[in-house]
Chains A and B, each alone.
Chain A
Amino acid sequence: MDDTTLIGGKTVDTRRRGRRLRASLAGLVAAAALAGCAGTGQGDGSALDRVNDPLEPANRVIFAANQAVDTVVLRPVAVTYGTWVPEPIQYNVRSFLRNLRSPLIIANELLQGDWEGAERATARFFVNTIAGAGGIVDIAGDNLGIPFEPEDFGQTLAVWGVDSGPYIVLPLFGPSTLRDATGLGVEMVADPVTNQLDWGLLDETPMEYVRPGLTAADTRYRTLEATDELEASSLDYYAAVRSFYLQDRARQITDGASQEGGSDFEIPDYDETGDTASRPERTAVGVAEVPGARASVTGIVLDLPALEPGSAEASAAEPPAADTASPAEPQTAALPTLVLDIEPAAY
């Protein structure tokens, strides 16, 4: 690309360089996303097992490369950060980084039609920026009981009814989907915080390098334990991470509602005695093994039903997975959940 101009003149406007860097990153993401588009094949098999990963061979290569980068760079940086930076400072850094995301979070809450979420995010932003010394203290979360809620444009797209699309492992960024990668690209270009600084109000260098650097170190340090655990207990780490990511995103999209109403796929009751093999399969068959039930369980793979941006309450309470009743009547399955969403009092 324009590397020569970057290296060539020292007079290169750093602002433009920053923009270009971000633009090319966004381009990379978009390219990966488009590449994902090419093979939007649905995996065969049952609903629970439907993993939309047509690019698996390429994804595995990128996954391995990411792991190498992690071993050589990211993990050592994160461990150093976690070991040498005192816990209170880590807390300040985390609070500050989260506060910087506030404008994006407010925008996404609004776009999702989650007015209460937008209100909470706005309250957090003002309280923490003013009373929390520019955001380094999370007063809203610690003292006012308004915890941080992660929102991003990928989640907004999901609330709008955009299908997750194929699973994609992005270089450096890691697990994603076509939809989430698109969201990431949009946020890179549209983050008001970075753009504001681009307009020359402040030197942008800290934003360009320090913010992503600290975000990476902080995030990686906090996930070290979980990823180590998953890696140690998995036989196929790639597949475990993929499953984990998709389930976790489904939960985020419903703002944690899955803890109250989701993940209600059925686990069929198999015979406790050893003669399971000789039993006729029909008695033990799960909905998961019946193709007709696919529609009722797709939520678990992030296929959320289309929702109007205005139907905030419904979207917040919509669990990712529907119940799966008996194989013969797949639609009935989703209904108890539906009733639960719309009229909690009915219970």
Chain B
Amino acid sequence: MPRRFLRVAAVLLLVVTGAPLGAQAAVDQDGARAFIDTLGDRTVEILQDDALSSQERIQAFRQLFREGFAVPTIARFVLGRYWRSASEQQQQEYLSLFEDLVVETYARRFNEYSGETFEITSTRPQGEQDVQVQTRIVRSDGPPVNVAWRVREREDGFQIVDVEVEGVSMALTQRNEFAAIIQRNGGNVEPLLQALRREIETARSRNSAG
């Protein structure tokens, strides 16, 4: 009885409010899947290319990252409402720092690469316009890790807007983290930028040392 009621109520509300029922059906799941497949293969290629120096590898990855990830979109989502309180100069610096942070964070893992492979397990619509492509990273030295890629179709192809590791959104985690830093510093964006600069610096010296 309550289920029927809920169903009727839901349908009614949908009709009344005009929520797009068919919107998710239009999302190109196969395209998103193929996109992740290609991107994954290209990443593995870079990781396995012994001809590349560690610097070249990071550079190649940065290129791939810019292409495959909607970096400004992610960066702005992560900063949330504090974007508005930042000056234009701070905004520009933040965008470039964010990219550096992600690139250097991933670069750290390159040295640890030991033949992991990935397989796509399924896809589903996510949110209003995205597709979630679920993959399993198979490792030789530990249990497999479930990583889901939130993919959005844009004018010039697909791009990733979020990564979920075992169901935890990296964008949301980072957003909460950045907000905590800003709040602890009286709502100022500058201390966050400082922390980012410091973190990138540390990561760089560690990566080049490795």
Contact = CB atoms under 8 A, between A and B. Distances in A.
A259 B177 contact: no
Given A238-B180, A289-B81, A336-B19, A267 B150 contact: yes
Contacts of A284: 76
A331 B2 CA distance: 20
A49 interface: yes
A262 B146 CA distance: 15
A235 B178 contact: yes
A248 B11 contact: no
A42 B190 CA distance: 26
Interface residues of A, number: 62
A258 B70 CA distance: 23
Nearest to B166: A248
A243 B127 contact: no
Interface in B145-182: 146, 148, 150, 152, 154, 161-162, 164, 166-169, 171-181
A206 to B, nearest CB: 28
A49 B175 contact: yes
A235 B192 CA distance: 9
Given A274-B92, A329-B17, A260 B80 contact: no
Nearest to A53: B180
B72 A270 contact: yes
Contacts of B77: 267-268, 270, 286
A256 to B, nearest CB: 7
A308 interface: yes
Contacts of B6: 314, 338, 342
A236 B185 CA distance: 12
Contacts of A188: none
B181 A332 contact: no
A324 B196 CA distance: 30
B29 interface: no
Interface string B185-200: 0000000100110010
A235 B21 contact: no
A301 B126 CA distance: 18
21 contacts: A232-B105, A235-B192, A239-B176, A239-B180, A239-B181, A240-B177, A244-B168, A251-B166, A265-B127, A267-B77, A267-B130, A267-B171, A270-B72, A284-B76, A325-B19, A325-B128, A332-B13, A335-B13, A339-B10, A339-B21, A343-B7
Query: Which 4 A/B pairs are nearest by Cβ-Cβ distance?
Result: A239-B180, A243-B176, A251-B167, A332-B17
